[in-house]
Every structure is written in C-alpha cells, then in structure tokens.
Amino acid sequence: MPEHGRRKICAVVASRANYARIKTVLQAVREHPELELQVVAGASLVLERFGNAVDVMELDGFTPDATIRFIIEGETPATMAKSTGLGLLELPTVFELLKPDVVITVADRFETIATAIAAAYMNIPVAHTQGGEVSGSIDESVRHAVTKLAHVHFPATELAARRVIAMGEDPETVFNVGCPSIDLVARADLGLRADVLAQFGGTGSPIDPEQPFVLVMQHPVTTEYGQGLEQIEETLEAVASIGLQALVFWPNVDAGSDQVAKGIRRFRELGRAHGFHFFRNLPPEVFVRLMAHTACMVGNSSAALREGAFLGTPAVTIGTRQRNRERATNVVDAGHDRAEIAAAIRAQIAHGAYPSAHLFGDGSAGSKVAEILAEFEPRIQKTLHLELGVEASGSARR
C-alpha cells in the first residue's frame, strides 16, 4: 500500500450481474477521499450479444480505465476454461499499466478467478465479494477457490462470513458488510410506469409492466452441460402455460449458454412465445423495479434469492444452480419439469409478495467496503488460519 497518495482500488467488472453487485462499491470508492477508483471492463460486459452492459455503466459515470475482450466464443466447457486463460493473458497487462493497490473481484465466475489469480501472482492484494456462499454449478468450486486466493473478504451474510473463516481465512480479513446489490434495491425508486421499458428495446411482444408479468432468467448449469436446451424448454413451456406476459432474459456467457439461447430462439421460431418479450440487458435499477412488481420470478438466477429476499419477490427457482444457497421465504424450488414448474408459479402468483428479509444486508455495503479498503492493511503472504479440533482429526481416512 502506498504511504502517500490515495489507494488505487481497481474493480474488474465483467458481466451485467457483476455490475449490479458491485455498483455501489464503485460509487463509494469514487467518493472516498483516500481512495482512487479504477474500473476495468471486460468479458461479456463489453459484448453486444450480452447487451453491452458497459453502456449502462458508462451512463452511471464509470468510464473504464481499460477495456479487455477475452470471451472465446462457443460457450463449451473447453472455451470457458480457455476464456479464463485468455483473461489471464490480458489482465496482467492491465494491472502492470494501472498499478492498483487493491484489486476487487466479484462473486464466482471464470472472470472472477482469472482476476484473482492474475492479481495474486502479481502480489496485488485481492478483495473478494460474495465469498462463503454455497450453490450448484462450477460456481460453487470457483467461489471457494477465489476465497483461498483473496486477501480481504466481503461476504454478504453472517453465515457466509462464518464459512469463509471456517475455511481457514484470517478472521481479521473477513468483513460481513452485506451485499452491495441490496444497496441498490434499498435506494431504488420502485415505481413502475407503463413506459419504463420503452427505451431499452429488446424484441418480441410489447410488455405492459402495469399488467401482471412473469420474469424469466435462466442460465446454463455447467456441471449439467448438454442439458441446457431441454431445461429452458421446460421452463418456457411452463411459463407459456400460465398465460401471463413474460419478460425473458438471454442467459449469461457460460458453458451451455448457446444451448439455452438456442432453446429460446427455437421456442420463438415455433411461434410459442406469444406475449413474451426478450431482453439482453437492463440497467440494474430497472431490473430491480421489475423484480419488485413481477407476479413471479422464474429460473435459476441468484437475484431471486438475493435481491428477491429484500424485495419479497415471489420466485420459483429451478434445478440445482442455487441449491443450498441461503434464502428467505420468498423462494420455492422446482425440478426441470414443466408441470412442476407451472404449479409452483401458480402457487407463487396466488401467494403474492413476501415480507422483506434482510439476510443479505441492509443497504450499506458499498460504503462499508470503501471504508475498510481505505484502512485495511493487507499482507501479501497469506497464512492458513485453522484450529484443528479433535473431531476433525478423526475423520481423515486411509
């Protein structure tokens, strides 16, 4: 850390979801007198096919200090690994140029681990958000691996913080600040007028957000690669059977997203998407408004569990992608079966909104992170903090 001047805090923002989960940190860092913000835009954040979410970020005043493109198109398991590799070829160049004092990496994606590895090998302290959560997909493994590479941790819940510490991180480096995404929700104007979507384009049937609508966001599950097309079909058929308007988001860039996208396109080409509107990206605040008003959120996005808990959004979470993730009462599970999904959606619509739950924080995460980054003195050489009790010892097998 520099003894003079402001600390340079470099956030690598690599997807629309990343941005929603780190935006208030960027704001708080930018406003902090002892910090200097650097933003690196990369991966799907800067791609047309994923809605070019960087435009939204720039409208918020965050002009990237560097833009890097490291998505190798194809969305197979191999290209996901290779895109991680290409990120690792690009990020060190950026870090050599920007010379950050701390690098922030968000959540559990391949961009996240590429960022963590690049910074860690370059002796730049790594700050990690959303550590200690549990889920399905490869995200589960990657999230915890990033924890082991990070020097300071900003888990989003008390339970997640305890997990990070239990995995051997120094408790002095673990700060339960809540999730920055909740800051957005807490501050957002949740009003929803009929014209709110007009400026954002998209394709398909027009949507009147003042009438009941379903919100669909379903990503591939990498550990179930090859099943994505079938999985999205079940979901779309279930949604179609409900008869409400539907807002459908294209999937993010993981192994299998081509298959999910193909399922959506095929559904549309078969003329089954009556009353469906398709978006690639929306500003996070607009998305939050939709979550606040949707009759039911459907799919496997963690937003249903995270922002949804705060908003009380009725949600149906499908499959294994969010398995084991901490949640409030607003979520019910369903398998990849159209009848089961449809029944769950109907039940949630009948139930209506849930009470707000604050397990992912109270809306002050961004400023807490900035405050800690201004004061914390990271040690580059990590040390494992485990106190091994007797019972742990007994369970090692031969």
- Residues within window 183-202 making contact with its own copies, judged by CB under 8 A: 201
92 interacts with its own copies by CB under 8 A: yes
Give the one residue of 15, 18, 27, 79 binding its own copies; rule: CB under 8 A.
79
Within residues 357-376, the interface with its own copies by CB under 8 A covers 368
Pick 166 or 194: Cβ nearer its own copies: 166
Report the distance separating Cα 159 and Cα 165, nearest Å.
10
Contact criterion met (CB below 8 Å) for 124 and 95: yes
Within residues 255-284, the interface with its own copies by CB under 8 A covers 255, 258, 261-262, 265, 268-269
Q: Of the listed pieces 172-180, 190-198, 286-294, 305-313, which binds its own copies according to CB under 8 A?
A: 172-180
Shortest distance, CB of residue 120 to its own copies, whole angstroms? 6
Within residues 279-318, the interface with its own copies by CB under 8 A covers none
Report the distance separating Cα 156 and Cα 68, nearest Å.
28
Pick 134 or 343: Cβ nearer its own copies: 134
Contact criterion met (CB below 8 Å) for 80 and 255: yes
Shortest distance, CB of residue 351 to its own copies, whole angstroms? 30
Report the distance separating Cα 242 and Cα 339, nearest Å.
11
Give the one residue of 63, 203, 205, 329 binding its own copies; rule: CB under 8 A.
203
237 interacts with its own copies by CB under 8 A: no
Give the one residue of 28, 29, 80, 238 binding its own copies; rule: CB under 8 A.
80
Give the interface size with its own copies as a residue count (CB under 8 A).
97
Report the distance separating Cα 111 and Cα 359, nearest Å.
26
225 interacts with its own copies by CB under 8 A: yes
Nearest CA to 29 out of 127, 148, 160, 171 is that of: 127
398 interacts with its own copies by CB under 8 A: yes
Q: How far is CA 222 from the centre of its chain?
A: 15
Give the one residue of 12, 104, 118, 315 binding its own copies; rule: CB under 8 A.
118
Shortest distance, CB of residue 134 to its own copies, whole angstroms? 5
Report the distance separating Cα 348 and Cα 355, nearest Å.
13
Give the one residue of 30, 34, 64, 77 binding its own copies; rule: CB under 8 A.
77
Residue 233 CA: distances (Å) to CA of 77, 240, 320, 338: 21, 10, 16, 8
Annotate 8-41 with three-state secondary structure.
Answer: EEEEEECCHHHHHHHHHHHHHHHHCCCEEEEEEE
Q: Residue for token digits 């339960």?
A: 176
81 interacts with its own copies by CB under 8 A: yes
> Which residues, 6 or more positions from 271, have their beta carbon under 8 angstroms from its beta carbon?
none
Pick 101 or 258: Cβ nearer its own copies: 258
6 interacts with its own copies by CB under 8 A: no
82 interacts with its own copies by CB under 8 A: yes
Report the distance separating Cα 330 and Cα 348, nearest Å.
9
Within residues 132-151, the interface with its own copies by CB under 8 A covers 134, 136-138, 140-142, 144-149
Q: Residue for token digits 């900035």?
A: 370
